[in-house]
Amino acid sequence: MSFKASRVLVASRNFANDATFEIKVRSGLRLEEGPPVTTVLTREDGLKYYRMMQTVHRMELKADQLYKQKIIRGFCHLCDGQEACCVGLEAGINPTDHLITAYRAHGFTFTRGLSVREILAELTGRKGGCAKGKGGSMHMYAKNFYGGNGIVGAQVLALACKYNGKDEVCLTLYGDGAANQGQIFEAYNMAALWKLPCIFICENNRYGMGTSVERAAASTDYYKRGDFIPGLRVDGMDILCVREATRFAAAYCRSGKGPILMELQTYRYHGHSMSDPGVSYRTREEIQEVRSKSDPIMLLKDRMVNNNLASVEELKEIDVEVRKEIEDAAQFATADPEPPLEELGYHIYSSDPPFEVRGANQWIKFKSVS
């Protein structure tokens, strides 16, 4: 069947407008009630989520390819396998809410509103990148998205939300490896004392760098780590579960009750970074089993097809369109020029008059322009 004939077939078919699904938040702590046990997925939302997750997935595979071609250099942490986390979290909050994460940031940069072109161009260090080619993989930024930073930065954001009296929340993300660090507990304490609208989110992908959670943590119940802060353990491979848990957590924070903690149980297919093959501390069979049984894109696809929200042909069309978008973005990211050396000191401040910045020694000067 030709692509054109497939489009005609899809257009002539009567799809359901929505469907109801059972969801399950695995555990809760210090909560009288939790997220709903069922949710409605509209056909429109389902198609949007599918396209977004597929875009994140294909973008990360393209980044892998460009890295192996030595077009992308330096640190590069990919999030394929964790697509339901970034897309599901975004589906549960407002564009005016705030989000800050660690270095596995490409997916969140996209869901917060930046284009694939801007992201891939940033990875290749080009002028058209979202940080003008100066940030790279770990330092991307968008409106109300504060890139790859430590958790303390998120704490200030949540304080600003309350101080300004706006009905906004801050999502602060960290991994299971970082969950054992002391400053997180300091942030828990401060957020609880001041009742800040902060959703602490632990993306538990089962391995902190190359160390399994069982070897790194005496307790792997990360959603209980807040102690006096309520917590939820969520299936991070199920986008509907992530969306509903996030909506619940955001409503909890907006009501003035203070912070809440979410543990998203997820999985990354790549290694910790591009320098990590990802198979010295886990087997290829383990990775393949997760792909075959719990892949977030596959789970959403099956739900939509089995409940007449979409057809296999229609989703294949989206796949083709996404692949083309990624290829076009990659061509731009490899052809766009690098930023000139004289712009090295630009954009230190957002709205200051130009000033001089010292270079590697006192005789080298760069001009800084906002």
pLDDT > 70: percent of the chain: 95
Radius of gyration of the chain (CA): 21
CA angle 151, 155, 156 (to 5 degrees): 120
CATH class as words, domain 18-339: alpha beta
pLDDT at 151 over 70: no
Residue 241, both tokens? 């579960």
Q: Which of 86, 83, 79, 75 minimizes the C-alpha distance to 123?
A: 75
Characterize the bridge pairing of strands 355-358 and 231-235.
unpaired
Mean pLDDT of the chain: 93
DSSP H helical ranges for 195-283? 213-216, 239-254
- Across 278-302, average pLDDT: 97
Q: Which residues contact 236 (CB under 8 A, 6 or more apart)?
A: 82, 84, 85, 88, 203, 204, 242, 264, 265, 266
Q: How far apart are CA 297 and CA 311, in angstroms?
A: 15
C-alpha 233/C-alpha 223 separation (Å) is 6
User: Which 3 state secondary structure label does DSSP give 20?
Assistant: strand
Question: For 341-368, what is each residue's pLDDT tens digit?
Answer: 989 899 889 888 999 999 888 899 999 9
Q: What is the pLDDT of residues 15-38, one digit of tens each?
A: 999 999 999 888 899 999 999 999
Give the residue extent of every domain in the chain: 18-339, 342-369
Reduced to 3 states, what is the DSSP secondary structure of residue 356? strand
Better pLDDT: 59 or 7: 59
Amino acid identity, residue 326? I
pLDDT of amino acid 215: 97
pLDDT in tens, 183-215: 899 999 999 999 999 999 999 999 999 999 999
Distance CA 179, CA 42 (A): 35
Q: Give me the amino acid identity at 288.
A: Q
Question: Most distant CA pair in the chain: distance in Å?
Answer: 71
Enter the pTM of the model: 0.93
- Least confident interval from 2-11, 122-131, 234-243: 2-11
Least-confidence region, from 70-74, 149-153, 195-199, 246-250: 149-153
What is 284-311 written as a DSSP string? HHHHHHHHHHH-HHHHHHHHHHHTTS--
